[in-house]
Structure 1
């Protein structure tokens, strides 16, 4: 498998994670625990609206990932957003997470994949 193909597969999978979580889990509310998490952290009064707004933001992130525009900035923002979100959830609402406190391990693996794809695999393509 070529580095370019592997890079494109990774990029597509990363974009799909954002799209699925944004569209299906938050906007369409197929995973109500996302709204519960938002409600418990930010308050229940606006949990529905905020969850949908977060979902739309994730859909935009998916489009940005797939576009490849300013990919380094995109990756830095992805890493920061995912790290902050998962640390907050780990500390504040571990009981609502799919795998409890182990969620942070899966988030770390996802972050490593995002980093690897942009800063290691893509660099090999340039060289």
Structure 2
């Protein structure tokens, strides 16, 4: 994979998914994620669900890096990030790193995904 601006941004986006998936959820280095899952989906299976979500997020990183059906991947990312953040904004704002401001960070992330995949001629710098 050559180091074009688009590929570098793809790697950065994939790293976000890997860090949040593996480091924060699977390895549970950020227990707040499990607390969020517990509050939204219930405490009974929060640990297993958090790890499962983390593994799926790592899978998203693999999909991003594979470039297979990249537009579908971008749409899936946008929908997932939007849905997760809207739910968290409403249900658990007290557990978010930046509270309700997290939704702004999510919107910027969504914009980066969108511009990188659908508007490659637009400069992100």
Answer yes or no: same fold by TM over 0.5. Answer: yes
TM-score range, shorter chain: over 0.9
The Cα of 1:5 is off from its aligned counterpart by 1.3
Q: How does 1:104-123 map to 2 (within 5 A)?
A: 104-121=103-120
Q: Does 1:62 align with 2:67?
A: no
Q: Number of aligned pairs?
A: 120
The alignment's TM-score, normalised by the length of structure 2, stands at 0.94
Report the RMSD for the aligned CA atoms in angstroms.
1.1
Deviation readout 1:24-79 (Å, 9 max, x if unpaired): 00000000000000000000000000000000000000000011000000000000
Match of 1:39, SS state, is helix
Q: Does 1:29 align with 2:28?
A: yes
Provide structure 2 residue ranges, at least 5 long, that are not aligned to the other structure.
Answer: none
Provide structure 1 residue ranges, at least 5 long, that are not aligned to the other structure.
Answer: none
Quick one: higher RCO (CA 8 Å, sep 6+), 1 or 2? Answer: 1
- Residues of 1 paired with 2:17 and 2:88: CA distance? 17
- Residues of 1 paired with 2:80 and 2:113: CA distance? 12
- Residues of 2 paired with 1:10 and 1:77: CA distance? 17
- Residues of 1 paired with 2:82 and 2:76: CA distance? 10
Q: How does 1:38-77 map to 2 (within 5 A)?
A: 38-77=37-76
2:86 counterpart residue number: 87
The Cα of 1:20 is off from its aligned counterpart by 0.6
